[in-house]
Structure 1
């Protein structure tokens, strides 16, 4: 697979749940090693739980493909005017190529129009992930302990009218 292969990002449905689960598990092994905890939620979620989540109507799952291969995925939960990003995963052999950043930015195009803020959370020690979110305009808000893990919560405020339709300018 060439370095400059085009990445296509689109919504993923439950028909791809097996691929999504496999990709997440491969990607989150590194996180599990960082925290010395093999029981992080992305590694313990079952296929049935993932399908239920994808079909709930309260989440959007996006996938990044290069050709027929799913190389990245991200989950967005939607609650009223707030969206929450989670489970950002990129195939280990494809990390460092900007796929995660593309997924984070792509999320904005799949949110309801009245969404006013997007939250992201990641492990407090996941400096690479925090830097990725910072690059995409997310600012650290607080840390929260959950079991043996401490999560960093970041937020991006969406400005009303910030997304401009180029066709409307003509």
Structure 2
């Protein structure tokens, strides 16, 4: 995936972003048997309002002119909260999610000390990717029928070494 360009998503790409997120999160909704997860119920107007918030940065991954993935970062003082990591279904499992996850670090203010992310407790592939990149499980939270796992990475700690093989 060398031909991927990662940049901030602006309002002009809001409709495409909404489509990418919905396509990506359908599999999560199927995994949990819940079609009402927030990434699937957010309206275009709500998404546009979110993109305008000064404490939110949404990054997109493009191949050519096609938006193929995104990640949302909300800044809270010394903490960054990641969410809505989405990759189009036909390109999942090829490293785009990892590229987006790593690109976030370049957009964080200098005072950011920790990065938090959450995912469904049964989303084994997501949990594995986060753990591989230094995120450690902190706690679980039950919301209705879903259980979310919350993970944290302290910045300034070395990136885990790739296994030699």
Q: How would you bin the TM-score normalised by the shorter chain?
A: over 0.9
Q: Name the SS for the 1:57 alignment partner.
A: coil
Q: 53, 57, 73: which is aligned to 1:60?
A: 57
How far 1:14 moved relative to its partner? 1.5
Take 1:35 and 1:7, find their aligned partners in 2: how far apart are those partners? 30
Take 2:75 and 2:108, find their aligned partners in 1: how far apart are those partners? 8
Take 1:5 and 1:133, find their aligned partners in 2: how far apart are those partners? 21
Take 1:94 and 1:8, find their aligned partners in 2: how far apart are those partners? 15
Runs (4 or more) in structure 1 with deviation over 4 Å come to: none
* 2:13 paired residue number: 16
TM-score (normalizing by structure 1): 0.90
How far 1:56 moved relative to its partner? 0.9
1:16-73 deviation line (CA, Å, top 9, x unaligned)? 1101100000000000000000000000000011111110111000000111111100
Take 1:136 and 1:65, find their aligned partners in 2: how far apart are those partners? 22
Q: 28, 31, 34: which is aligned to 1:34?
A: 31
How far 1:5 moved relative to its partner? 5.3
Gaps of 5+ in 1: 163-170
* 1:90 paired residue number: 87
How far 1:136 moved relative to its partner? 1.4
Count of paired positions:
159
Take 1:136 and 1:104, find their aligned partners in 2: how far apart are those partners? 9
* 1:167 paired residue number: none
1:117-128 → structure 2 map (5 Å cutoff): 117-128=114-125
Q: Name the SS for the 1:129 alignment partner.
A: helix
Gaps of 5+ in 2: 159-165
* 1:72 paired residue number: 69
* 1:165 paired residue number: none
Q: Does the Cα contact within 8 Å between 1:5 and 1:66 map onto a contact in 2?
A: no
